Structure 1
Amino acid sequence: MIEGGLFSLIQANVPDFNGLTAYQMYYLAVFDPVPLPYCVFRRYKREAEPDLSSNYGLYTSGYILNIYHDDSWALLDLQQRIRVILEGLPNTTLSGTSIQALIVLDDFHTVPALMQEARTRAYQGVLDFEIIHPNV
């Protein structure tokens, strides 16, 4: 558990159809007493970073974290807490992967257009970040 039990990073190894390769999936579980938010966490890119000898030792992976909440102020607070956790990850090891650097590219929140007319509004917070890590 991270941040006093409010967040939990979960790794799941999902085997492919033949059972030969296990793909790593990461989930960020968010626990908040009122009302329950949820988030979607996905990787959208993975690029090799050549070093001075043209070897591919480090990789840059891009991730997007979408957070949904029906209270805009609670969403802003939650989004800021998650950003503080993310910015504290460089030079640490997470699930066996050494994180060399983490850059938050974008941090914003919106009201989805289709939800504006609904009785319960769903506010969306987005964290777009890149992680530089060794090949794993």
Structure 2
Amino acid sequence: MSEDSSSHRYRDRSIELVSIAGNLVDNAVDALLAHRPASPDGPRIEVDLRERAGLTELRVSDNGPGVPPELRRWIFTDGASTKQHRDGRPRGLGLALVAGLVSDRGGTVMVDGREGGGAVFTVRMPPAVPVGDRGAP
């Protein structure tokens, strides 16, 4: 996580954020293992989580091969995968899960190229109800 990341007031959203971040980081690790970057810094994954203008924003970036522009929408569909199918396990579930969770909460997820090579996944979700701000039933 970046040094100034935060999501301190939204405990109910923490499970969603862990699932979303976990899938994005897992994909970044897979990309870096399959295509080692020719970078003096070696493989690199950065995670940034913060509240911005009332939105929860999560960014996961890596210095791997990136995602070609023509695949940037497709990778979020169920079953979409650029990975080899091994040991009979289904592929293409993680980013579809991310897209579904984010969409269900009224948010967006997108992927862009990273300056210097790689990918940047950005998730933006509207505010959750802060813990302690709920009205009595």
TM value normalised by structure 2: 0.38
Between structures 1 and 2, the one with greater strand share:
1
Q: Which structure carries more helix by proportion?
A: 2
TM-score of the aligned structures, taking structure 1 as reference length:
0.39
Higher relative contact order (CA 8 A, sep 6+): 2
